[in-house]
Structure 1
């Protein structure tokens, strides 16, 4: 973890992979992760932790399977939402989107009981941030 400020724009410009979060810093036992997303993730659940989302750019939809039934929350840029622990959810981005998440260090991106994981989704606990930005825009290619 760096003791210097981190520019989110530069951090987002340093990679192009979708659904493959980078760890920008840590707060206590939590990672602060950023990711570029587009298209569908997978239905998954985190049994022991909430999951916080902040949409930096673009728009994120999160499908939720709750006791009252299924619903979708729509998060435009600048919006935040917390998926409660134990709630099955599926993020989806209709356009290229940048997000920031808070998750306990070691939390797997595909939840605690992953099923089949498509090739475009990275099942990871987060990757170290490459400090070398790429010469593209915030969301990149």
Structure 2
């Protein structure tokens, strides 16, 4: 009689293990939330050569903390003599910026928000109509965006 009971107990234990395993896998599948990667940063730029102003607009990605950003601005392949230390109020080579690059503003650059960098006449090379500008954005010294545009 003991031999007839062994297969029944074995089947019952195997069934219990399968039920528990299915429950664990089912719970894991239902609890899974796919990882949402951060959208890449896309910045648009316009340059007013008459006013010596660069306007940067955060078009995608963000919000960005401007206190963690740095910029490298080149005019026709030549870096400006003085680069903008964002955020700032008064810096060598620049007048006071507007938007999130101004140290008195909210340091979080939101999507759709623009920052204006007025280049002082003491900085150079100054953009002229048709000049090609390249603006590289870095976050904690890591490149996050490159913007190329022509001055109007």
TM-score by length of 2: 0.34
Higher strand share: 1
Return the structure number with greater helix share: 2
Q: Which has the larger radius of gyration?
A: 2
Higher RCO structure, 1 or 2 (CA under 8 Å, sep 6+) = 1
